[in-house]
Amino acid sequence: MSEVTDIVLPILQRIQTELADLKRQVISLDGRVDAMSESFAKIESYITYSLGLISQNKADLDRQGRALLEIGRRVEALEHLS
């Protein structure tokens, strides 16, 4: 029995050590993933805000373009009256 124990025990101890190392690595990775998730959430909010501003600016430019065309039509109409 002693020979079997001498053979099996070191293998089991090595497996136990490797499992402990893996658990430490997983805990470390969990922390990093959580930090990355928070960063991505912040980036997502900035992107959403920026897209909102871009859409608002595009709408403002469209509105100003239509107003400029209307002013051009009015000036042209006034020039024809004179």
Question: pLDDT tens for residues 20-52?
Answer: 999 999 999 999 999 999 999 999 999 999 999
Q: How many CA atoms lie within 13 A of 82 on its CB side?
A: 6
Mean pLDDT, the chain, whole residue set:
93
Q: What is the pLDDT of residue 58?
A: 95
pTM, 2 dp: 0.57
Instruction: Write out the DSSP string of 21-33.
Output: HHHHHHHHHHHHH
Residue 81's pLDDT band (cuts 50, 70, 90): confident
